[in-house]
């Protein structure tokens, strides 16, 4: 029986030996694509499961389903989740392809709770550049250029970008004279 963290799987009639640590290494420099529904958490980042399985196997994404990809990654011990449901509305204020939540209007309390949840997530990313949208982390990257390049490539628009403070000087905003 295969150990946890190692699986032999058959996808599109081909057999692959997949290892959790190999996938973690392979995704270390991989920027996540936008999440449409499901995601897998690898190295504190959220990826579309199909992006990860395509990378790990070299297969075309049309060769397997999102469900297959999720199941494989779960069996390798990765956390898999689903973003809250949203509805897309058109608005003059939005760019093409951008969505807003319309399923619930957050109260002040729930909005505060979401901000706290985001802040707790950011504690794991000191020194990283982050893009935030609707109080959710869109992306963490090593450089601001990488972050903006990703936003541009994926036609996404953040509400905010900054570096997560790694020390008191970064956090303090010490005033220059």
Partner 1 sequence: MRFPFKDIPDPGGAAVRPRPIVDVVVEGLELAPQACLLDSGASAVRMGAHVAELIGLDLSKAPSATIAVGGTTVEGRLAEVALAVSDGASGHQWTAPVWFCEPWRPAFGLLGLTGFFDRFEVTVASYEERIELTPIAP
152 binds partner 1 (CB under 8 A): yes
Is residue 157 near partner 1 by the rule CB under 8 A? Answer: yes
Structure tokens at 6: 């190692």
Contact assessment for residue 120 and residue 114, using Cβ atoms and an 8 Å cutoff = no
Q: How far is the CB of 79 from partner 1 (least distance, A)?
A: 20
Q: At what angle do helices 20-27 and 49-57 cross, to 10 degrees?
A: 100
CB 75 within 8 A of CB 7: yes
Q: Can residue 18 be called a binding residue for partner 1 (CB under 8 A)?
A: no
Among 1, 105, 109, 169, binds partner 1 (CB under 8 A): 169
Report helix angle 49-57 to 66-75, nearest 10: 80
* Residue 156 CB, nearest approach to partner 1 (Å): 7
List the interface residues with partner 1, window 79-108 (CB under 8 A): 93, 95
Residues 6+ apart with CB under 8 A from 166: 126, 127
Closest CA to 102 of 84, 82, 118, 114: 84
Per CB under 8 A, 140 contacts partner 1: no
Cβ proximity to partner 1: between 80 and 170 the closer is 170
Per CB under 8 A, the list member of 15, 61, 119, 146 interacting with partner 1 is: 119
163 forms part of the interface with partner 1 (CB under 8 A): yes
> Which candidate, 82, 97, 114, 75, places its Cα nearest to that of 156?
97
**Span from 30-38, 39-47, 60-68, 151-159 in contact with partner 1 (CB under 8 A):** 151-159
Which residues of the chain form contacts with partner 1 (CB under 8 A)? 93, 95, 111-112, 115-116, 118-120, 122-124, 126, 131, 143-145, 147-148, 151-152, 156-177
């Amino acid at each position: 029986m295969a150990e946890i963290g190692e699986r032999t799987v058959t996808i599109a009639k081909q057999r692959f030996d997949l290892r959790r640590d190999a996938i973690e290494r392979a995704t270390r420099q991989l920027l996540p694509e936008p999440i449409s529904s499901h995601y897998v958490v690898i190295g504190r980042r959220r990826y579309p499961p199909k992006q990860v399985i395509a990378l790990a196997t070299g297969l075309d994404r049309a060769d397997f389903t999102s469900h297959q990809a999720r199941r494989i990654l779960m069996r390798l011990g990765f956390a898999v989740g689903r973003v809250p449901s949203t509805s897309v509305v058109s608005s003059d204020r939005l760019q093409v392809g951008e969505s807003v939540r319309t399923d619930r209007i957050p109260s002040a309390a729930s909005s505060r709770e979401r901000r706290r949840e985001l802040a707790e997530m950011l504690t794991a990313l000191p020194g990283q550049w982050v893009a935030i949208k609707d109080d959710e982390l869109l992306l963490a990257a090593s450089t601001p250029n990488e972050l903006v390049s990703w936003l541009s490539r994926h036609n996404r628009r953040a509400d905010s970008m900054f570096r997560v403070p790694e020390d008191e000087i970064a956090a303090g905003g010490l005033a220059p004279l």
